[in-house]
Amino acid sequence: MIHLEWPWLLIVLPLPLLVRWLLPAHRKAEQAALKVPFLHDFDEAEASTNSRQERWPLLLAAVAWLLLVFASTRPQWLGEPIEQAVSGRDLMLAVDLSGSMEVQDFIINKRAVDRLTAIKWVANDFINRRVGDRLGLILFGSQAYLQTPLTFDRKTVMTLLDEAAIGLAGDNTAIGDAIGLAIKRLQNQPVDSRVLILLTDGANTAGEVAPLKAAELAAANQLKIYTIGVGADEMIVRSFFGNRKVNPSADLDENTLVKIAESTGGRYFRARNTDELNNIYMLLDKLEPVEKDKQFFRPRTDLFYWPLAVALLLVGVIGVYRAKWT
């Protein structure tokens, strides 16, 4: 259907008639002439011809005016309504890039990969499912910084997460600063929609804010935090004396991560492998469901340039006629 964006501009349609009515009529200058009785018939014929010649430019001008007014109302073609699910949730994803994330204790397609690669591999599916959420990305190591502000553009968030590299923010772990940055970025958003998912494989070893103090501030700002401890419990290491089992997650501070989650109304999860990590994301989909309400969007296509082009063409025709016969 056709929709007029500014229909109130139609009130200018009678403007030419008002101008003609209010302003005095143009009078032709009278010229002295010698009247010859037998030329009277020729004068009437000439007047009739001139009247017909002046009528059609006036008609074209009227049509051009109608088209100009119609174009000024900005006509648009409205397409069929498209349903969009909108949750109204603002979800930040904080990912640890410290040096310990390079430990290769995850398996993807029967190949050992580092922890950050595993997080990227699973998180991309999770991000892609968050239709209707505004997503943001925080990367932290020795310091925390905002990689992606809140956006509905999930593709950009996935791309920037894929481009993240271990050690990019330093080799240490500033968990408290990451939480503090999330609070800062979400404090002006609706209260019931603030969610932070924090993934780390170690303990807080850097930063200006202690993790538990940051958690208190998060709770005061009604920011719900889900913490995920990343890393396997055991790993086979080859050495000169043979193979031996080690715990690659010995530095993981689970107690602090549990307290952070519980104090903000969230939960703590343990991801020892890609299957557990994927299950955590699936559970987060249930804990924080995407669809809250539905909105409808109708695509719009502007049509104003068609009547505008025809009106300008008619004005050009009138101008050429005037220039030729005057």
Output the pLDDT for position 258. Answer: 94
- Token pair, residue 189, equals 């958003």
**What is the rounded distance in angstroms from the CA atom of residue 1 to the CA atom of residue 37?**
63
Query: Which residue, chain included where needed, has tokens 């603002």?
Result: 90
Task: Evaluate whether 308 touches 75 at the Cβ level (below 8 Å).
Answer: no
Q: Are strands 134-140 and 90-96 parallel, antiparallel or unpaired?
A: parallel
Tell me the one-letter amino acid at 144.
A
Low-confidence ranges of the chain (pLDDT < 70): 24-54, 82-88, 235-248, 289-297, 325-326
**What is the rounded distance in angstroms from the CA atom of residue 64 to the CA atom of residue 314?**
6
Output the pLDDT for position 250. Answer: 79
Sign of the torsion formed by the C-alpha atoms of 154, 157, 162 and 166: negative
**What is the rounded distance in angstroms from the CA atom of residue 316 to the CA atom of residue 113?**
70
Convert 216-280 into a string of H (helix), E (strand) and C (coil).
HHHHHCCCEEEEEEECCCCEEEEECCEEEEECCCCCCCHHHHHHHHHHCCCCEEEECCHHHHHHH
Residues in contact with 240: Cβ distance below 8 Å, sequence separation at least 6, in sequence order = none
Sign of the torsion formed by the C-alpha atoms of 120, 124, 126 and 132: positive
- Token pair, residue 158, equals 């996935």
3-state secondary structure of 203: coil
- Token pair, residue 322, equals 């005037």
Domain map (residue ranges) of the chain: 2-19+48-79+298-325, 95-293
Residue 264: how many CB atoms within 10 A of its CB?
Answer: 26
Helix (H) or strand (E) holding 125: helix 115-129
Output the pLDDT for position 42. Answer: 45
Output the pLDDT for position 52. Answer: 56
Tell me if the domain spanning 95-293 has CATH number 3.40.50.410: yes
Residue 148: how many CB atoms within 10 A of its CB?
Answer: 19
Phi/psi of residue 143, each to 5°?
A: -140, 165
Residue-level length of the chain: 326
**What is the rounded distance in angstroms from the CA atom of residue 272 to the CA atom of residue 319?**
80
Nearest to 94 by CA among 247, 232, 260, 222: 260
Nearest to 272 by CA among 237, 313, 228: 228
Residue 78: how many CB atoms within 10 A of its CB?
Answer: 12
Output the pLDDT for position 177. Answer: 95
Nearest to 282 by CA among 126, 93, 130: 126
3-state secondary structure of 108: strand
